[in-house]
Amino acid sequence: MTTASLRNTAPTRRRRAFIGYVAAVIGVGGVTTAITLLTTPLVWHGLSTVPAAVWLLAALAIGVELRPLLPPGARYSQAAMISLSFIMALLLMWGYLPALIVQTIVTILIFTQLRATSWRIAFNAAQFALALTASHLVLLAFGVSSTTLIDEGAGLGPLLLAGLAWFLTSHMLVSMVWALREGVSWVRMLVRSFGPEAIVHAAMLALAPILAVAATSQTWLVLLASVPIYAVYRMARLSVDRERVALSDQLTTLPNRKGFQELVEANLLRSKVSGAKLAVMVCDIDRFAAVNNSLGHDVGDRLLLELTRRFRSCFDRPHEVVARIGGDEFAFLLAEIPGVEYAKRRAGCLQSALGASVVLDEVSLDVSGAVGVACYPDHGEDFDALFRHANVAMAEAKKRGSGIAVYAPEFDHHSPQRLALLGDLRRALDTPGLPGVELYYQPQVDLNTGEVLGVEALLRYRHPVQGSVDPGDLIALAEHSSVMRLLTYRVIDEAVGQLARWRADDLELRAAINVSVRDLHAPDFCDYLTERLAHHEIPTSQVQLEITESALMADPRRVIATLKRLEAMGIGLSLDDFGTGFSSMKHLRSLQVSEVKIDKSFVLGMKEDPDAVAIVKSIIELGRALSLRVVAEGIEDEATWRHLVTLGCDTGQGWFHARPMPAEAFVSWLRRYQPPPPPRKIRDAPAPVAKLA
Ligand code: C2E
Ligand code: MG
Ligand code: MG
């Protein structure tokens, strides 16, 4: 997709003004040209009377435009008209008609090569015709003609004014189109769109009188005078090519990061006007470095070329761009899309392009990659935001192993809002007496008897402006920062202090405290816990630590020493959200786990999903076989509770018994608590309830 093709349709907003303006320029251009032609006497009668120099100038004008000079990725600039010297020489020496004919042919040639629509070609032909008319009128006004130019030596002023008239008329007319397209003021656009072609045009206009004089004295002198024109053309071409190289990747010839950025920005401008959505996708190839290292860079290059071929054939629709933005990173632009779901479907197509293995040097390579998607306007308004968010989503897809992820703010630990939230949390933890951080307690009960065995301490944070923040989100945010340590130490301090206060009121309870696996990496973690327990005279058996299965199993060896120390201290370890990670039986044994907590997603699913029941059942059986206590979390109703009891689950927690609540509310709840009648008689003795003073 080129920026030129973007200009082929009328904008959605200011559409009527845009179409009206384009039609007016075409109309006025046509009428003015007709009047000028009618009032200009014909110099020649028949083609045979046309001088050879005119044919030569016309041929050179057309010849140099066979490869139009379009500044790459240019948002406003139009093609620089290299043939302008020849056209102006024709105007100066042989008048309006031959110059107009050649200029119109050249315009059609340039804009057909740029794949412009017929209305755009008509507009540009009218725009240049009006520019030529303006130039012609200046020459007429100053009485400049071929005779005055050669015999009397016309002054520099009229010639400069004629050149200026051409350039200004053309520039003003086209700037208005861009102004209407983007919805900015015409004057602003006049200044903003003053592109590099202005210098080329100035050089071409300056060379026109020399060419004109040369053409009338000796035809072959035209060829000599064309040499500087060729030099200007070559220099302009080289700078264009250099710019093009700077915008593309050498190996694949795809746009590089800078080129991609320019294309996205050009499309964003258009989307802002039309209201259309667009998506930026980033794909990172997995283990590409390993291919380079083990099979060599040549194989790596061939793999990239094959992937480029697949991506190109996958994203070949109008308004789709494939770019290579780094060693093994590709980016995709999908403009004019209906919405996020569409982008996600197209990302799926990308995954299937990666899916088939690539055979290179008889080695079959299985390629995979993670894709991140960010959409305008939902996930960002400018290139930087969209690109960054697509990368954040890609990192999330990699982390989850899900292949594709669409950006969501919670993936982004570094967005300004999340960093501000983290700062506020740090302040709330650092400043004694500042409200906001609190612990709620959810009872854990013996499912057979209804006895309250203990509580799980759950963090609550109320932000002064945002209100309650989801604890899961907050932990995910804090976990990657030094705030996590402050948070865990506050939770330990608060929970152990609460146990001591309850103990003073004759209420003996066990508390389960959630900790992050990173907390266990800290060398002073056990010391801090020991010190707090000793300070409040709480036996270690009254505290249990919960750690999520997925976090612990990601790198179990790193925390073995801490876990051994905790076991020696008599502090139990519970594997939280069990069933969502990948525990190996070996690790369950070696990590001194005393309890597993069935993830609430399975417990919640028990009523409708037989698979969830099968998973819950097998976890209970596993727990029994390994002598581990099994706790079910997320028991929301009586049916689930009864079902868990029949499956042999000992302990549970959930909204059916009680929701998490502040410490005082928990005590009132406990006073009122009546254990539900046992679903089946397991024990003869009546259910003992934790005693309150
Ligand atoms: P978790 O440790 O698995 O905690 C259980 C979650 O299930 C709690 O969510 C609890 O409110 C919720 N829950 C309990 N019963 C039911 C029920 O019947 N139905 C439903 N739908 N949900 C129920 P919460 O409080 O939002 O905490 C979310 C997660 O945040 C916790 O999951 C834990 O991983 C983390 N977290 C909470 N507090 C702390 C903390 O102090 N430190 C650390 N490291 N993580 C914490
Ligand atoms: Mg927990
Ligand atoms: Mg859990």
Q: How many Å apart are CA 197 and CA 79, to the nearest integer?
A: 7
Percentage with pLDDT > 70 across the chain: 92
- Which whole-number Å values give the CA distances from 217 to 15, 178, 413, in the listed order? 51, 43, 75
Per the listing, tokens 């315009």 go with 107
Q: Which ligand is nearest to the CA of 578?
A: 3
Residue 183 sits at φ, ψ, to 5 deg, of: 70, 35
Phi, psi of 657 (to 5 degrees): -85, -55
Chain Cα centroid distance, residue 33 = 49
Neighbours of 296 (CB within 10 A): 12
Ranges of the chain whose pLDDT falls below 70:
1-8, 12, 43, 68-80, 147, 149-154, 193, 195-197, 582, 584, 679-693
Asked if residue 654 lies in contact with residue 415, where contact means CB atoms within 8 angstroms, the answer is: no
Q: Which residues contact 230 (CB under 8 A, 6 or more apart)?
A: 64
Looking at the CA of residue 442, tell me the nearest atom of ligand 1: 14
Calpha distance 664→645 (Å, rounded):
30
Q: What pairing do the DSSP bridges indicate for beta strands 543-548 and 510-514? A: parallel
Cα–Cα distance, 572 to 504 (Å, whole number): 23
CA of 472 from ligand 1 middle (Å) equals 7
Nearest Cα to Cα of residue 243 among 280, 188, 197, 174: 197
Would you kindly state where each structural domain of the chain is located, as residue ranges? 3-247, 257-411, 437-672
CB atoms within 10 A of CB 368: 12
Q: Which residues of 162-192 are buried (b: 16+ CB within 10 A; e: fewer)?
A: bbebbbebbbbbbbbbbbbbbeeeeeebbeb
Torsion of CA 182, 183, 188, 190, to 10 degrees: 60
Which atom of ligand 1 is the closest one to the Cα of 439? Answer: 41
Question: Domain 257-411's class?
Answer: alpha beta
Q: Are 381 and 280 in contact (CB under 8 A)?
A: no
Can you count the helices (H) and strands (E) in the chain? 28, 17
The alpha helices in 439-582, defined as continuous H runs, are 471-478, 483-504, 517-521, 525-536, 549-554, 560-569
* HEC readout, 353-390: HHHCCEEECCEEECCCEEEEEEEECCCCCCHHHHHHHH
Q: How many CB atoms lie within 10 A of CB 117?
A: 13
Query: What does DSSP say about strands 510-514 and 452-463: parallel, antiparallel, or unpaired?
Result: parallel
Q: How many Å apart are CA 59 and CA 89, to the nearest integer?
A: 13
CA distance 459 to 440: 6
Nearest one of 502, 581, 506 to 543, comparing CA atoms: 502
Phi-psi region of 4 (alpha: psi -120 to 50; beta: other; left: phi over 0): alpha
Please state, in angstroms and rounded to a whole number, the distance separating the CA atoms of residues 162 and 149. Answer: 13
Q: Give the strands of the sheet with 404-406, arranged side by side.
A: 320-326, 329-337, 277-285, 369-376, 404-406
456 and 488 Cβ atoms separated by less than 8 Å: no
Fold classification of 437-672 is: TIM Barrel (3.20.20)
Ligand 1 atom at minimum distance from 660 CA: 11
Q: Whose CA is nearest to atom 12 of ligand 1?
A: 634
Q: Hey, which of 439, 484, 545, 600 would you mutate to test ligand 1's pocket, going by the most ligand atoms within 8 Å of its Cβ?
A: 600
Ligand 1 atom at shortest distance from the alpha carbon of 597: 3
Nearest ligand to the C-alpha atom of residue 599: 3
For ligand 2, the distance from its centroid to the CA atom of residue 456, given in whole angstroms, is: 7
Residue 681's pLDDT is what?
42
Give the model confidence (pLDDT) of 48-65 as tens digits. 778 888 898 999 999 888
Closest Cα to atom 42, ligand 1: which residue? 514
Beta strands in 421-475 (DSSP E): 437-446, 452-463, 467-469
pLDDT for position 590: 77
What the block records as the tokens of 483 is 């705030």
Strand 369-376 to strand 404-406: parallel, antiparallel, or no bridges (unpaired)? parallel
Contacts (Cβ under 8 Å, ≥6 apart) of 176: 21, 186, 189
pLDDT, position 201: 79
How many Å is the maximal CA-CA distance in the chain? 129
Looking at residue 684, its pLDDT comes to: 40
Give the list of residues 6+ apart from residue 149 with CB closer than 8 angstroms, or none.
Answer: 92, 93, 209, 212, 213
For ligand 2, an ion, list residues with CB under 5 A: 514, 546, 576
The binding-site residues of ligand 1, defined as CB within 6 angstroms of any ligand atom, are: 442, 458-459, 471-472, 475, 491, 514-516, 546, 548, 576-577, 600, 633-636, 653-655, 660
**Residue bearing tokens 């300070």:** 535
pTM here is 0.57
First to last CA, the chain: 78
- Which DSSP string do the residues of 238-283 spell out, in sequence order? HHHHHHHHHTB-TTT-SB-HHHHHHHHHHHHHHHHHH--EEEEEEE
